[in-house]
Amino acid sequence: MLRTRMFMLCLTTVMATTVFAVEWKSGILWERPPVVEGKMPVLTPPPAGAVVLFDGKDMSQFDNGEKWIVKDGVVTADKTSVSTKQPFGSCRMHIEFATPAEVVSQGQGRGNSGVIFMGEYELQILDSYQNDTYFDGQCGSIYKQNPPMRNVCRKPGEWQSYDITFVAPKFDDKGNLVRPARMTAYQNGELIQNNFEIKGHTFWHMAPTYTAHPAKKPLLLQYHGNPIQFRNIWLEEIED
């Protein structure tokens, strides 16, 4: 009996101290976004006054930027995510990316990265060229919240572009949400997110909720184990 009690006590302790991460699913049955042949990316140079985050030379604008590999004007994700040294709120952003030409996995394991505004709100980057995954997790989705309007992914290894307008959320001084974040995004010049009202952070394991945070926070580029390439990254802060 004593032995049984000891076992139960140990088991309870283990259960209480172990965190099991379980995937959260919205339960929404999305329709498959139509596949549209991906056009050439939009290669917009930074406008006057823009904050250039990567111009092909170095990743000095990012914490951990030295861990990514810069070569021939292109940076390749490696080892860890990077976040801007400067915090940002509402902004217009341009970024060009290429998922690996060599396909080595499938689903979420194939060409995964992401642009995570304020370190909270992710516009997914994934190789969704003939690669099925859940629709609200495919390339161009606001992760776990909204699929892209269309799948305009180009082939693995081909350059693509995102042009994004992100409007930051606002909180009152008690931490209550007074204005949710919003996002409009174009991939290779095609509209994929139309002024979507973001429901909160975009975690894998939790339903989206808002947690009050400063008006400006670093922007994060995700490392998810895949060597995604990037070039021509800039943003422009906007009045909101």
Enumerate binding residues for Mg ion (CB under 5 A). 112, 114, 124, 222
- What are the tokens at 141? 């989705």
CB closer to Mg ion out of 91 and 125: 125
The Cα 147–Cα 168 span in angstroms is: 20
CB closer to Mg ion out of 77 and 181: 77
The Cα 166–Cα 146 span in angstroms is: 15
Going along the chain, which residue ranges are E strands? Answer: 51-54, 62-63, 69-71, 74-76, 82-88, 91-98, 113-117, 121-125, 160-167, 170-171, 177-179, 182-187, 190-197, 217-221, 229-237
- What are the tokens at 146? 């909204």
Residue 46 CB, nearest approach to Mg ion (Å): 24
**Pick from 61, 39, 76, 237: nearest CA to 154:** 39
Contact 111, 193 (CB under 8 A): no
Residue 58 CB, nearest approach to Mg ion (Å): 24
Check residue 107 and report its DSSP letter.
G
CB closer to Mg ion out of 46 and 64: 64
CB closer to Mg ion out of 124 and 131: 124
CB closer to Mg ion out of 126 and 149: 126
Residue 172 CB, nearest approach to Mg ion (Å): 31
Calculate the alpha carbon distances from 18 to 10, 15, 22, 196 in Å. Answer: 12, 5, 12, 36
CB closer to Mg ion out of 151 and 222: 222
Residue 136 CB, nearest approach to Mg ion (Å): 12
Residue 144 CB, nearest approach to Mg ion (Å): 10
**What radius of gyration, in Å, describes the C-alpha atoms of the chain?**
20
**Chain residue at closest Cβ approach to Mg ion:** 114
The Cα 239–Cα 199 span in angstroms is: 22
CB closer to Mg ion out of 112 and 133: 112
Residue 125 CB, nearest approach to Mg ion (Å): 6
Residue 12 CB, nearest approach to Mg ion (Å): 36
